[in-house]
Amino acid sequence: MRAPSQELTDCTLYCIQFIADAYYLHKAAYISKQIWRLWEPEIQRILSGPIFQREWVAPEFAHDREFVRYIETLMRCKGLRTPISALLQAL
C-alpha cells in the first residue's frame, strides 16, 4: 500500500466527490435504478479497499449525513449481493 501523502488524499477525495455527484444524480432520478445497480458493486469494491479506508474524510461531507452513512456502509459491507441502497432503506 502506498504511503500517506497529500496527493493520495486529494485523489481519494476527488474520487469520492465523483461518487457523490453520481449518488446525488441517482437520488434525483437522473441515473436510473438499473444503471445504479450496475455501478454500485464497483463503487463498493473501490471504497472497501485499504487506501480508501485510510483516506476517508467524512468531515468533508458532514453537510449530508445520509451520504456519509451510505459511504461508510459501503466501506464496511464487502461482497454483499444485496444492493446497499436496499439495505439502507430497510433501516
Parse the chain into domains and list their residue ranges. 6-90
Q: Residue 62: pLDDT above 90?
A: no
Cell, residue 80? 454483499
Q: Are 23 and 70 in contact (CB under 8 A)?
A: yes
Q: How confident is the model at residue 19 (pLDDT cuts 50, 70, 90)?
A: very high
Nearest to 23 by CA among 64, 51, 52, 53: 64
Q: Are 74 and 48 in contact (CB under 8 A)?
A: yes
Question: Residue 74 and residue 29: Cα distance in Å, rounded?
Answer: 20
**Averaged pLDDT for residues 64-86:** 75
